Chains A and B, each alone.
Chain A
């Protein structure tokens, strides 16, 4: 299992009624990396994630995770293998408490999730671990709050804690800092860096500050196809990328400073 690449796609394509959203993508994600996937709006990044997590079936191509072809697996099965995703719009259970959200993930490995006759108290021993995970993302003080009442940045942090609870080998994060203020962006960036120890992260990210500071490798997607792939320094000098994407980012960066 110590192969260099944890995930590999070969000729992965997705067509929606003739429209090619993901076009023959060959991507290799190196074990232990934070790998960023960038590209303009509508480039197919979310669709690509949906393919990897089996929320969509590919039109062509294959997906290999840890040496196993997982192209035709069911989504929950893929999650059990260790690929856990977050969503572009925060995915929490709004009317459960913050603690219960994390417990929801921890509960899976108990193997009692079909036990409809057992009381809720059989889950209480998970609370310690849940609180630990919450502390990792600075949410320990919100444990008993109803999730719907959290500010957006905190919800994203909670989502991260819930994902971490499953100890995934490969985390897929879809724009984890989208819609956040400066402070939240910094906090979540540090958090991602922190939790990346011992695992692999593939993340979609628009914010170039975040990408340049934590990503080991960058893949640029445009109209469904890869136009560049490599370390930040290299990719950011690629004329294709500058034309397609960086130009707008530069102005965005200037605007932010």
Chain B
């Protein structure tokens, strides 16, 4: 194993331990849970942008609709949490299939515009249909008991479930990226005409990547509903699609951990600044983003990796 690979392993192990003992360090569990939900959202988004080369401007549609589906199933249909999460992810995967099938016919900015347009329709639907609670959102979603056995009402139990789901999803994403399927995604990102000339029906691969990304983004939204106990219009709002792009670019697009790191920074800043500066927080994050993009084009984790690689030579 190379030095860099070792370092990465040690870092991941350290982060995992940190995540496991975080509640004992006095970190507010709900804050860390929220952070992990957004970290998962960003990692799912990065599967598409970083590892397939497709920029979606409508990922809030998946995050938000799954948040509503899960909230409604648990609150009104008395689903257990694990089934609620699963149903949320499946629903957003299905929406992803429809959006993807329309969008992948176009390239570049047109692809982004189509995803944005459809996400706006999803927003409108969420505003109009009765079960989402319209402007008020879906409030008071109970956490219930996992498999009907383990109550999640305590933050500690909920916390470890969130950590487990995040770690499993993160590993799943690394697996997808390195799988035979992931190799084809890499070919598409690197040189799409060449991939076609080798006989790969690239649209089908892009579509599957889109569905997987949508389903995982949905899982993040569902988990957020379970943690916070509500789903609101801001979950499906276009600004949420923008936020996930920002998180991903800030941390490092196309790196495994960068998006999670970027999500951490954004959520932490929002949390620290919200009650001090009010809506200025958007401006501050915007400025930080611009500075980061100017100074570290590959994102924070991306630059760090490049630096380590240079030192290794």
Binding site for B on A (CB under 8 A): 53, 55, 74-77, 79-80, 84-87, 91-96, 100, 103-105, 107-108, 110, 112-120, 122-123, 162, 166
Nearest residue, chain B, Cβ from A76: B201
Is A118 in contact with B180, judged by CB distance below 8 angstroms?
Answer: yes
Task: State whether A115 and B186 are in contact (beta carbons under 8 Å apart), knowing that A79-B196, A85-B197 are contacts in the complex.
Answer: no
Task: State whether A112 and B190 are in contact (beta carbons under 8 Å apart), knowing that A84-B197, A91-B197, A119-B175 are contacts in the complex.
Answer: no
Task: State whether A114 and B186 are in contact (beta carbons under 8 Å apart), knowing that A79-B196, A84-B197 are contacts in the complex.
Answer: no
What is the interface size of chain B, counting residues whose CB is below 8 A from a CB of the partner?
27
* B179 partner, pick from A77, A79, A100, A115, beta carbons under 8 A: A115
Is A96 in contact with B199, judged by CB distance below 8 angstroms?
Answer: no
**Chain B proximity of A87: nearest CB distance (Å):** 7
Binding site for A on B (CB under 8 A): 175-176, 178-184, 186-187, 190-191, 193-202, 204-205, 208, 212
* B205 partner, pick from A87, A94, A114, beta carbons under 8 A: A114
Task: State whether A79 and B198 are in contact (beta carbons under 8 Å apart), knowing that A107-B183, A113-B181, A116-B212 are contacts in the complex.
Answer: yes
**Chain B proximity of A176: nearest CB distance (Å):** 14
* A113 partner, pick from B191, B194, B200, beta carbons under 8 A: B200
**Chain B proximity of A186: nearest CB distance (Å):** 26
Is A91 in contact with B180, judged by CB distance below 8 angstroms?
Answer: no
What's the Cα separation between A80 and B200 when bound, in Å? 8
**Chain B proximity of A144: nearest CB distance (Å):** 12
Residues of B within 8 A of A114 (CB): 180-181, 204-205, 208
What's the Cα separation between A95 and B309 when bound, in Å? 15
Is A93 in contact with B199, judged by CB distance below 8 angstroms?
Answer: no
Residues of B within 8 A of A87 (CB): 193-194, 197
Is A93 in contact with B200, judged by CB distance below 8 angstroms?
Answer: no
Residues of B within 8 A of A93 (CB): 186-187, 190-191, 194
